[in-house]
Homo-oligomer: A and B are copies of this chain.
Amino acid sequence: MDDSFARENVGLMPYLVAASQVLGVAALAVTGAWLSQYRGGFSWDGPQQFNVHPLCMVLGMVFLCGDALLVFRVFRNETKRATKILHGALHILALIVSVVGIVAVFQFHKKKGIPDMYSLHSWLGITTFSLYILQWILGFIMFFLPGVGFAYKSRFKPLHVFIGFSLLVSTIATCLLGLTEKMLFAIPDQYSKLPAEGILANSLGVVLVAFGLVIGYILTRDEWRRPPLPEEQALSIDFKTLTQGESPTEP
């Protein structure tokens, strides 16, 4: 990583990437500590099945998805093929972990007779996850399957990037809603007295927001976009001449 960064002027990017990882790990650690310390820990068949939901969503939809968005910036001097495979691999992991988290909450609700899908948390969460599946399918078809024209890829890419980051933001907003719901269900009378659990849950919200902000800043700096490698540059000029499309600079 250092070697890659050294070749060009990436400014504060390595420090911000490091900060994002510290925040991501902190979010996971605080989620785990909160659920273990105050909510009885984890189990699949027992009454703690609910707790699998927040942990899996923070790991899958926040941390792994966030990191998947960063790979084109961090591994900027690897081939595009290798970077795409890493991006896809992180999203496969994210998808598996998130499905486990979603199954956990629906199974828990069913066992306890708790109604589903009435809160803003559930509406935003299920919309975000459904669009994530759609983004997965379209991204796979457009960027992994052979035979899709370069002009189509170029046109689709900015939309793929915008939707990808929007889904991360929407996921973080959904987490904040989930935290608020949980506090008002679990400690309705104590929450307003700022107990340790309330402060911990609010702090988790702050860490999640900070994670999203740092990733958003890294992704929106024009000067930190992955430049095409020399061999891609040559290829892009050829393609451009042929198709009059855009060059394949990574967004």
Q: How many copies does the complex hold?
A: 2
Instruction: Find out whether the CB atom of B216 lies under 8 angstroms from the CB atom of A162.
Output: yes
- Out of B118, B121, B158, B166, name the residue touching A193 (CB < 8 Å): B118
Residues on the B chain within 8 Å of A166, using CB? 213, 216
Q: Does A15 contact B (CB under 8 A)?
A: no
Q: How many residues of A contact B (CB 8 A)?
A: 40
- Out of B118, B127, B162, B192, name the residue touching A192 (CB < 8 Å): B118
Residues on the B chain within 8 Å of A99, using CB? none
CB-CB under 8 A for A123 and B181, given A118-B194, A118-B198: no
Instruction: Find out whether the CB atom of A220 lies under 8 angstroms from the CB atom of B162.
Output: yes
- Out of B120, B183, B184, B193, name the residue touching A205 (CB < 8 Å): B120
CB-CB under 8 A for A123 and B216, given A176-B173, A181-B184: no
Residues on the B chain within 8 Å of A184, using CB? 181, 184-185
The smallest C-beta distance from A102 to any residue of chain B, in angstroms, reads 19
One digit per residue, 1 when the CB lies within 8 angstroms of any chain B CB and 0 when it does not, for chain A 174-204 equals 0011011101110000011110001001100
